[in-house]
Structure 1
């Protein structure tokens, strides 16, 4: 990966995790070029990518600011355009997990294709309910190659992304998401305390790290009462 894309991914993660807060100034270019040991030209390429996504904006004579995102006073809006987990989308609230199933097995054909792995490469299969302020929020079914990092149920009680970032230096930088509505099957209904056939909102996702490797294939399902999502759109040019 080009160095400027690595810097872009690093700053983007710091923005999304609130290290650089909305409405505040980014560190100066002098500080950032020293931090990343790159030229101003390389840094400028990274900042241009962030500006194109609408994450930052520059004010002449003032500096570069983190762009405020849509107001979310309820804390229940999950951004569809940003690959982050519940821990960060609801970072000011109590987040917990109920692990329903955890094991390792060989991948099926769809999992091999989505994760770009061979049939002989084992994967973790994880099923857990995510709770926000002790209320059931989503039911996650996750497949992850065993080679990514060692996992156990204690780790699954918290943020897997935090663990991967600390232990394996894996950063979630990109994702392909497919969203759709469907009726709850027996498994989903049991996990979320719903009636079979009750409406749910699903996000099917392939997550990629900073090197472009697929490290997670998951389907998360949300109840209709808590299915509030936001998609910010930024146009950086006119057609």
Structure 2
């Protein structure tokens, strides 16, 4: 009885991980083997699920046999956009940040225990960081967006999230103690700093954006090379991020 009750949930979880694997591989698509590896599934299982998903239009397969997200997901996304899409309000904010600083600017959203990058606007400075791109996901506490959001969650939720060990994937700089230290620093300054912890020499700043209930749901971030993130410039860009994040939070509450 329990096994049959759990089976549909297991299938849903597997499908979800496969769709995320395909999203990470956009726009080039991915092979069955690579999708299975990313989703942590056996190759035959991944192939069977992808084939079923293709019959409903949720995934597609190109002439080279690579899997991509399907047209039905686009239609479903449009149907949900009225409730979840904030990009229309956020896009000019992200553009202003990139123009004002010359750095790459982003908007990310919290999805469960992760952040997902929604918008990217490259600045005028010719050397750029390529850590972030639209669709990429990181656990909360990783990268400046996830750190900014994590820092403004209730303490009990922070404790629960940090029970997940980030060290195997991101190294000792992402131990629970190290992340807590950065959370404390973020709460003091108001904005998060990622001092090249994901890619050496690639720095980031992040500020949380709050929903109508006062919960941190999105983050505005700036990324660039270490040489352009001196202490003085971090303070300047941090203040700008906080102001734009405050204004965007106010606009979102008024929707």
Do the two structures share a fold, i.e. TM-score over 0.5?
Answer: no
TM range (shorter): 0.3 to 0.5
TM-score by length of 2: 0.33
- Name the structure with the higher helix share: 2
- Name the structure with the higher strand share: 1
